[in-house]
Amino acid sequence: MLANPVRVQRRSYRGSDDPIRQAQIAELNRVAGILEDYLNKQIKERKEEHQKYLYSRIAAGRQ
């Protein structure tokens, strides 16, 4: 069972100075932060014990 607040795992890159790979990891971490913020906000607003979150609704809520 998930606990509140939800934490989305971040990635790190310790390889060579590959700017493309660094940008990919930075983008993944940025999206993880957005997802984490969205889910925690929804959990706080809704008090139901069981909640479902679909990727399509998360994407629609971000626009």
The sign of the dihedral angle between the CA atoms of 41, 47, 48, 50 is positive
Residue 1 has pLDDT above 60, yes or no: no
The CA–CA distances, whole Å, from 63 to 9, 31, 38 equal 23, 14, 12
* Terminal C-alpha separation, the chain: 29
Q: Tell me the pLDDT tens digit for each residue of 9-47.
A: 998 887 778 889 999 999 999 999 988 998 888 888 887
pTM for this prediction: 0.74
